[in-house]
Amino acid sequence: MSRSVRIRVPGTSANLGPGFDSLGCAFSVYNYLTFCEAEKTEIEGCPPEFSGEDNLALVAFRAAEKRAGRPACHVKIQVQTHVPSAGGLGSSATLLAGGAMGANALLGLGLDRKTLLDLVTELEGHPDNAAPALYGGLTASMMDNGHPVTVSLPLHESYRFCAFIPDFHTDTRAARRVLPKSVPHRDAVYNVSHALLLGAAFASGDTELLTLALHDRLHEPYRRSLIEGYDAVEEAALSRGAHAFFLSGSGSTLMAVYTDPEFPERVLPQISAMPHRWTVLPLLPDRDGACVL
C-alpha cells in the first residue's frame, strides 16, 4: 500500500496592528493536506487553475525536497480548506507550511522546524504568517541576513479573537503597493513603542493596555480605504465590547480582540445588516501550529 501523511495547518493573522511584517498569531481554523506516494503528480481539492506545478503546497513540497538534496518525486496532494482564501487569514502560508511539512514527513527528509520556517518564509516573502502557521500561538519575527528569527510570545488565556470576513478579497501585492516608501520618524517611534507595549498587554491580560497599544501608523492608515465598511465594522465592534480592532494581514478580513464570550452574538445583528455579507467568525488561538496528524 502506498504511504500517506496528513498535515493540519492553522490559519493565521499577521501584523496585529503595530507589528507590521513581524507579529502573527495562529487560530483555531484549519486547512488539511494529505500527501500520498503516487505514480503521477496530481492535486485534488483545488480549482483546476490552482492544481498545476505552481500550486503553493506543491511548490513548498518541491522546495523541501530540494533543500534536503532529494530529486523531485511524484506525489498526490489532497487539500481540504476551511481557512478563507485570499482573505487575510494566512491561507497561502497554510499551503506553503503544509507542503514543506508534508514533504518532510512523507519522504523522511529530516528537516527541523526552523529550516521549514526558513524555507516557507523565503517562498512567502515575510515571516509573520509563516511563523505562527508552523509554531502556533503568538509569534514575533525579524529577518537577519535574509533568514527569519522567531520567538513565541506569551498570550494570556483570557483573549479571544473575532474575524469579520467580507464577500470581497484584497490582493496582498496591491495592498503593499499603497504603502509609502518612507514614513516620518515620529510614526516609526509610534510603532516601535506600541508594538513593545502590545507584547506586554498580550502577555499580562491587561485589556486597558491592549486598547492603548494596539494601534498602527505603518500600514493601516494607508490600507483602510481598500476595505469598504472598515469604519462601520470597527465602530460596531468597539462599541459592543471589543478591546481592540485591527486589519488582519493585508485584509480583507478585519479582527477584534475580546474577552466577554457573548461579544460575537452581541455584534452579529449589526454586522449582518451591513453590505458585503460579512461573516462573523469567533476564533481561539491555536497553540500547536502545523502538525502531522
Query: Which stretches of the chain bind ligand HSE, using CB under 6 A?
Result: 14-15, 20-21, 126, 128-129, 172, 175-176, 219, 249-250
Give the gyration radius of the chain's Cα atoms: 19
Separation CA 245–CA 24 (nearest Å): 15
We find the least distance from the C-beta atom of residue 56 to ligand HSE, in angstroms, to be 13
Question: 65 or 234, CB closer to ligand HSE?
Answer: 234
Q: What residues contact residue 115 under an 8 Å CB cut-off, 6+ apart?
A: 67
Question: 126 or 217, CB closer to ligand HSE?
Answer: 126
Query: In Å, what is the CA distance from 169 to each residue of 87, 112, 166, 253, 293?
Result: 6, 34, 8, 8, 31
In 74-171 the beta strands, taken as DSSP E runs, fall at 75-80, 138-144, 147-153, 160-165
What grid cell was written down for 129?
Answer: 504568517
Question: 34 or 121, CB closer to ligand HSE?
Answer: 121
We find the least distance from the C-beta atom of residue 33 to ligand HSE, in angstroms, to be 20
We find the least distance from the C-beta atom of residue 85 to ligand HSE, in angstroms, to be 13
We find the least distance from the C-beta atom of residue 218 to ligand HSE, in angstroms, to be 9
Question: 176 or 224, CB closer to ligand HSE?
Answer: 176
Separation CA 35–CA 99 (nearest Å): 8
Question: 94 or 129, CB closer to ligand HSE?
Answer: 129
We find the least distance from the C-beta atom of residue 11 to ligand HSE, in angstroms, to be 12
